[in-house]
Amino acid sequence: MEVFLDTVSNLWTESGFMAITWQQLVMLCVSGVLIYLAIVKKYEPLLLLPIAFGMLLANLPLAGLSADSEGGLIYYLYKGVKMGIYPPLIFLGIGTMTDFAPLIANPKSFLLGAAAQAGIFLTFIGAILLGFDFNEAGSIAIIGGADGPTAIYVAGKLLNDTSSIDIGTIAVAAYSYMALVPIIQPPIMKLLTTKKERSVVMQQMRPVSKTEKVIFPIMVTLVISLMIPSAAPLVSMLMLGNLMRESGVVDRLVKTAQNELMNIITIFLGVSVGATTTASKFLQKETLFVVFLGLIAFSIGTAAGVLFGKLMYVVTKGKVNPLIGSAGVSAVPMAARVSQKVGQEANPANFLLMHAMGPNVAGVIGSAVAAGVLLSILL
């Protein structure tokens, strides 16, 4: 009987119940809220759910499941983030699912995708003013690109053990704001445009030939990789996926890249990024700054896109609807849907979806280029 009681006593004293701290309890509650948002509110559930569960794992005392617990399962999975492997593979899958035809038909959309990246660089200044160092500021600013894999890729490269923020915080902020695009963007779009501008019906786009669709990914890979080599891993994988799709000769590979490969990487990426959010790094004022700056980055990116759209409206004498500029922040296809919805509120006969898809996919390339620029300057 004594042996039995000793064993139970030992089990109790060595259990997580005895080792858990109040900070870890708070983190478990935070992960519970995120799981709720993913399941019930469906906020980017494909990534938020594994990220939130990773957060839960990282804050289980004595389990050794945080990303920095050497030798543990997540420690090895996290290598794929730290070494910059997962985000380009996610981009490969995204490439197989993206139709660049609206962008090829109207290449000026690239300018809207470029303008929306202003959110990244202006937030960089804000982060420096709040006391972050260059690498931390770059990692926070890239949230404005509204592109989860790009944000994780940049943060994985720029942040280290001594940084005051972690990749998980960046990822949670980026994906949360991407899910909130339909709430964040419309007020800014309406504030910066008149009803007349929002009602503009754009001309139908020209058809794009298969040759153009096949040449496009090769051309983009060559131009971007030669100009900004540090953007090559993201852009080249995106374009490889797209070339596989448009070539029409490797259907099996396309199906694998957009389903099995993408899903496996999403699980690994989400869980391991979530597992970086330990209480010691997450529960501090810097996390609040990241959340605040992320919102600023998103808002500035949206505003810059819309303002550049207004400029194009003036230059083309009213042929461009400025609302498509907000889709330049990436967040495919949510931002394009928002342009469509706000445009249709002003004019029910207006269909901006395909026009907005141009700046939207240009934003993906633009944010990858901006990421490459930040990496080449800051690393």
Partner 1 sequence: MEITAGMVTAIVCTGMLVVFLALILLVVLIKFFGLASGMTGKQSGRENQPANVQEKTTPKAAVPIVAAQPVTNGVHPEVVAAISAAVHAIGEETGTKLTVTGIRPRRNRKATGRSAWGMAGVQENTRAF
Stretch of 51-59, 113-121, 153-161, 311-319 contacting partner 1, by CB under 8 A: 113-121
366 binds partner 1, rule: CB under 8 A: yes
- 316 belongs to the binding site for partner 1 (CB under 8 A): no
Q: How far is the CB of 337 from partner 1 (least distance, A)?
A: 5
Q: Which residue has the tokens 């029409």?
A: 248
Candidate residues 46, 60, 63, 128; the one interacting with partner 1 per rule CB under 8 A: 128
Among candidate residues 79, 95, 103, 44, the one with its CA nearest the CA of residue 368: 95
Cα separation, 94 vs 369, in Å, equals 16
Given the complex with partner 1, which of 293 and 353 has the nearer CB atom?
A: 353
113 binds partner 1 (CB under 8 A): yes
Site string for partner 1, 319-358 (x = CB under 8 A): ------------------x--xx-------x-x-x-----
Residues 12-71 interacting with partner 1 (rule: CB under 8 A)? none
Q: Is 124 in the site for partner 1 (CB under 8 A)?
A: yes
The per-residue DSSP string of 26-55 comes to HHHHHHHHHHHHHHTS-SSHHHHHHHHHHH
Write out the binding residues for partner 1, residues 168-207 only, by CB under 8 A. 201-204
Nearest to 116 by CA among 374, 379, 359: 359
Task: Using the structure block, give the residue that is written with the tokens 């907005």.
Answer: 356
d(CA 357, CA 99): 9
Residues across the chain: 379
Binding to partner 1 by residue 159, rule CB under 8 A?
A: no
In angstroms, the Cα distances linking 319 to 105, 199, 235 are 15, 11, 31
Q: Are 101 and 172 a contacting pair, CB within 8 Å?
A: no
Binding site for partner 1 (CB under 8 A): 104, 107-108, 110-111, 113-114, 117-118, 120-122, 124-125, 128, 133-134, 201-204, 209, 211-212, 215-216, 219-220, 223-224, 227-228, 337, 340-341, 349, 351, 353, 362, 365-366, 369-370, 373-374, 377-378
